[in-house]
Structure 1
Amino acid sequence: MTSTTDTAFPAGSRAHRGALLHFLDDPGNDPEPRDGSLEYVEDGLLILQNGRVVATGPAQELLPRMPEGTPVTHWQGGLILPGFIDTHVHMPQLGVMASYGAQLLDWLETYTFPHEARFSDGDWARAEALRFTDLLLAYGTTSGLVFCTSHAASVDALFEAAESRGMGLTAGKVMMDRNAPDNLTDTTRGSYDDSLALLQKWHGHGRQRYAITPRFAATSTPEQLTLAGKLAADHPDVMVQTHWAENTGEIQWISDLFPERHSYLDVYDHYGLLGDHTVLAHGIHIDDRDRQRLAETGTRIAFCPTSNTFLGSGLFDFRSAREAGVTVGLASDVGGGTSLSMLTTMAEAYKVCRLRGQTLTPWQAFYLATLGNARVLQQADQTGSFQPGRHADFVVLDEGTSPALTMKQPYSHTLAETLFNLMILGDDRAIAATVVAGEIRYQRPDSPTAPTPQPSHPVSSPAQGA
C-alpha cells in the first residue's frame, strides 16, 4: 500500500472509493503476475490533493484519517485504474477510420492525405482537436503520443484542446518534404524551423510535451532526416516518433530510396533518430538483428494490432521483442486502427498473439495500457500508476454495462477473469468515468457514483469489488 503511517491527511484532500488496481512493475506474461508487480484493493480509497495522488489503501484503514467533511466519491461496483495511455495515434485521422479496402501505401494516398489536407483550415483543426480529446476521454484515455499534420496550426490546436481539459499529451508536427501531395509537403528548412518553434512553445508548457515527428523515411529527404536528428540531439528530453517496418511494400520502397543503408532501421540509426526517447510504430517485418539494435539503443516499439490487421500489414511478434529486451507499448493507431478504445486494442493484441502461437495475459495487457505505456513515453514518474505524487489521471471501469459483460459477470470469480472479460468484451460502454488531474472530465450519464461527505468514522458498507 502507498499509505504507511497513521498521520492524518491534509485539509483539502479528496477521495475516490472503489476497487483499486495499479501496477508497480512489469507483471510478466505468465498466468500469475510476478510478486510485487501490482497492488489490488477490493475496497480501496484513492486520496488526492491538488490533482495528484497522496495515498491509496483499504478504505476501512484510511477513512478515519480523513478530515471530517472530506468529499468521497464512491464508485459502487467500479474498478479504478490509472488512465489509459496510447503510444501511437493520429489526431487528424478520426474521419479516416473504417475506410474500405486498401493496404498501407494506397490507403495513405486514397484516404489519409486528402483528409489531413483539411487541417490547413485553423477552425477545422481546432474543432477536430476538441473532438479528438473528448473522444479519448470517453474511451478512458488520459494521455498519449500523437501525430498531428504537417500544419503547425494542427499542433497548436491539439495542445490547446489538451490544456483546456487538463490532459498531458505528447505530440508533434509531421515533417514531410517529399512523396506527398503539394498541399501537405513542407520544406526541408521550414519543417525544422516550425518544429523548433513548436518545441520551444509547448515542450514542458504545463503538462504538454513535444515529439519530433518525421512521418516515415519515405516522405523525408536525407536532408530533412538530418535536421530531425539535429533536433533530437539538441533536445534529448524530447520524444521522437515515426513509422517503421509496417508493410512489405513500404520496406521495399525504403530500400529503393536509401540504397546505401543496409536496412530500414539503419536509415533511422544513421540519422541519429534511435534512442530511449524514440517510439517506432509497428515493427512487424523485422529480424533479430533489428531487435538487438533496438535493445542496444533503448528504442521502443508501439504495437498497433487493430491497424495491422485492418490494413493486412501483418502480425507483430510480441514474444520475440520481449525476449530480445525491446520495450514495447500498446497503441490504437487511429485512423488505420479501428477504435480509440484501449480495451478493444488489448483484445486485438491478444488475437494477434494467438495467431502467432503466443499469448497476452490480462495482467500484461492492462500493464501495457497503463504503467507500461507510461514507461515507453518516459513519463512513469508522472502517470501510469497510483504512486504518491503522480497526476491523478484514472479511469473507472464498470463490468455491468453491456449485455455481453453483464452476461459474463456470474461466471467471473477472480480478478484475472474480470480483467479478461473487460479486455475482450469491453468498449466505451465499460467506461463509467475518466478523471484527469483529479477532475472528472467524462462521466457516463448512468454511471454508479455517489459523492458523499465523509463522516469522522469509517463507513461500514464496503464498496462492491469488480
Structure 2
Amino acid sequence: MEKQTSFVLQGNIIYTPDKDHFVSLKDGYLVIENGRITAISAQKPADYSSLPLKECSGKLIMPGFADMHLHAPQYIQIGMGMDDQLLDWLDQYTFKEEPKFADPNFARKIYPLLVDELANCGTTSAAIFATIHKESTDILCDTLAQKGLRAYVGKVNMDTNSAPALTEDTEQSLADTEAFIQKWQKHDLVKPIVTPRFVPSTTAKMMTGLGKLAQEYHIPVQSHLSENPGEIQLVKELFPEDKYYMSVYERFGLFGQTPTLMAHCIHLSDEEIDIMAKRKVYAVHCPASNLNLASGLMPTRKLLNAGVNVALGTDIGGGHTLYMPHEIVRAIEISKIRSLYHPEETPLKLCEAFYLATKAGGAFFGQTGSLEAGCSADFLITDIPDFQQDRTVEEQLQYFIYHGTAQDIREVYVNGRSIKKQTI
C-alpha cells in the first residue's frame, strides 16, 4: 500500500451525485489533497499547480464500488450447492464449511485471497460477515487493514438452530463481540458491525445483548431479512408474537436504532416497506445470490419509490462473483423482468444501478462512493479500448459495465492511497 499523497488526476471522469443522473467530464481534472477530493474541473486547475499531475488520458475514472453484503468464509464454497434453496444450502454447505475457520491458520491462508480479489475487482468499501470465531475475525480485519480497504466487519453470532460446531454459548459470544468492538471501533478504515446471522440462529437472549451492545457503543447492525419463504415461515414459528420478520429485530434494538443493513428484503408487504423507510434501514439487493438460490426477485423499484435506502451486494457464496459490475447488470435485468409482470415498477436505469453500487452503499461509511468535492478519494482507473475513445464518457462507462473485466481496472485508490496497480 502506497503512502497517501496529494495530486491532480486527469482523465475521463464519471460519477452519480444522485440516482437519477451522471456527471461526466472528458479529459477532466480531480484535485486530491490528503486523501480527499477537494475540487473537480473541466480545465487544469491553476490554483493547484504545485501538486503533481497524474495523467490518465483515455482512461475512465469512477468511484470505487461498495459491496454491502458478503460472507468472507464462503469464499471457499463459491459455486457449491446452487441446486439447493437457502435453508438446505446452509445445512449442506455453509454450516459444514464455516467451522474450518476455528483454525486461525486456515483463516490466514484464505482471507488474503479474498481481500486481494476484492481490491482487484474495484471494491473499495465492503460490509462483511466473518464467522463466530473471534481470532479468525481479527485476522480478517488485520488483512483488510493491511491492504487498505474500507470495511465494516462482523463477528457472527449464532446460539441456536445451527450446526453444533457453530452454536455458541450466549454469554461467551456476547463477551467476544464486545471485546471485538472495543478492539476495532477506533480504526480509520476497518470497523466493527453487530452481526446476528439471522433470526432463526439467534435466541431472544442473544438479540437482547446484541441490541444493547449496538446502542451502547453506537455500532451499526447487519443481518438478513425476508430472503426465502421457508425462512420467513420458520421465523413465524420461532417468534409467533411478532407481526413481521423485521419486528423481531426491531423489538431487540437491531432495526434502525443504529444504522442498519438488511440483506435481500425480497418478500415484504407494503407495510413492512414503509417501516423500513421510516426506520431508515438499508435494503441490500443481492441479485446473483437471489437467482442462484431461487429466493425471488427483489422489488427494487418499489422500495426506491417508497423511500427505502437500497444498496448492492455480491453475497458470496450465494453469489458467485465479487465483481460488482456483474451485480449492476443483474440488478437492471431483474428489474426488467419484474416490470413485465408489474408494469408500475419501471426498470432501473444504468445511472440508478451504478449509484446503488457506489454512492448509495458508500454513504453508509460516510462521504465516499462519489467523486464530489469533500468525498474520500476512493476511485478506480480503468482501461477503455482504442475503438471506444470517440464515445462519450457515459458510453464508455456502459461498455465497461457490460463488457469490461477486473483486468481492465488498472489502479484502485482508497483515501488517496493506491492499493492495486497493474502493469501491462
Asked whether the 8 Å contact 1:362–1:423 carries over to 2, the reply is no
Asked whether the 8 Å contact 1:363–1:416 carries over to 2, the reply is no
Relative to structure 2, which stretch is displaced further, 112-121 or 43-52? 43-52
Q: Does 1:364 align with 2:345?
A: no
The one-letter code of the counterpart of 1:253 is L
State the match for 1:350 in structure 2: 332
Relative to structure 2, which stretch is displaced further, 386-395 or 412-421? 412-421
Matching of residues 216-227 of structure 1 within 5 Å? 216-227=198-209
State the match for 1:234 in structure 2: 216
State the match for 2:417 in structure 1: 439
State the match for 1:418 in structure 2: 396
The one-letter code of the counterpart of 2:404 is G
State the match for 1:337 in structure 2: 319
Q: Does 1:270 align with 2:254?
A: no
SS in structure 2 opposite 1:260?
coil
Q: Does 1:245 align with 2:238?
A: no
The one-letter code of the counterpart of 2:146 is S
1:6-42 deviation line (CA, Å, top 9, x unaligned) = xxxxxx7322221112232332xxxxx2xxxx53221
Distance 1:284 1:175 in 2: 23
Asked whether the 8 Å contact 1:18–1:75 carries over to 2, the reply is yes
The one-letter code of the counterpart of 1:324 is A
Unaligned runs of 5+ in 2: 340-345
User: Structure 1's 13 and 296: CA in aligned 2 closer, same or farther, altered over 3 A?
Assistant: closer
The one-letter code of the counterpart of 1:433 is E
State the match for 1:76 in structure 2: 57
Asked whether the 8 Å contact 2:378–2:416 carries over to 1, the reply is yes
Q: Which residue of 95, 117, 133 maps to 2:99?
A: 117
Asked whether the 8 Å contact 1:148–1:171 carries over to 2, the reply is yes
Q: Does 1:188 align with 2:167?
A: no
Q: Which residue of 194, 197, 201 maps to 1:212?
A: 194
Asked whether the 8 Å contact 2:75–2:317 carries over to 1, the reply is yes
Unaligned runs of 5+ in 1: 1-11, 28-32, 401-405, 447-466
Asked whether the 8 Å contact 2:27–2:57 carries over to 1, the reply is no
Asked whether the 8 Å contact 2:7–2:31 carries over to 1, the reply is yes
The one-letter code of the counterpart of 1:133 is V
Distance 1:43 1:413 in 2: 13
Q: Which residue of 44, 55, 62 maps to 2:39?
A: 55
1:57-109 deviation line (CA, Å, top 9, x unaligned) = 22x43157412xx4332223211112111111111111111113111111111
Q: Does 1:25 align with 2:7?
A: no
User: Structure 1's 173 and 65: CA in aligned 2 closer, same or farther, altered over 3 A?
Assistant: closer
Matching of residues 234-313 of structure 1 within 5 Å? 234-236=216-218, 238-275=219-256, 277-313=259-295
State the match for 1:427 in structure 2: 405
How far does residue 442 in structure 1 lie from its aligned partner after superposition? 1.4
State the match for 1:175 in structure 2: 157
Distance 2:221 2:406 in 1: 30
Asked whether the 8 Å contact 2:24–2:394 carries over to 1, the reply is no
State the match for 2:310 in structure 1: 328
How far does residue 167 in structure 1 lie from its aligned partner after superposition? 1.9
Number of equivalent positions: 412
The one-letter code of the counterpart of 2:143 is A
How far does residue 218 in structure 1 lie from its aligned partner after superposition? 0.3
How far does residue 131 in structure 1 lie from its aligned partner after superposition? 1.4
TM-score, normalising length: structure 2: 0.92
Distance 2:259 2:177 in 1: 17
Asked whether the 8 Å contact 1:245–1:251 carries over to 2, the reply is yes
Distance 2:305 2:6 in 1: 43
State the match for 1:396 in structure 2: 381
TM-score, normalising length: structure 1: 0.84
The RMSD of aligned alpha carbons is 1.9
Q: Which residue of 86, 94, 118 maps to 2:75?
A: 94
Distance 1:131 1:286 in 2: 36
State the match for 2:366 in structure 1: 380
How far does residue 269 in structure 1 lie from its aligned partner after superposition? 1.4
Larger radius of gyration: 1
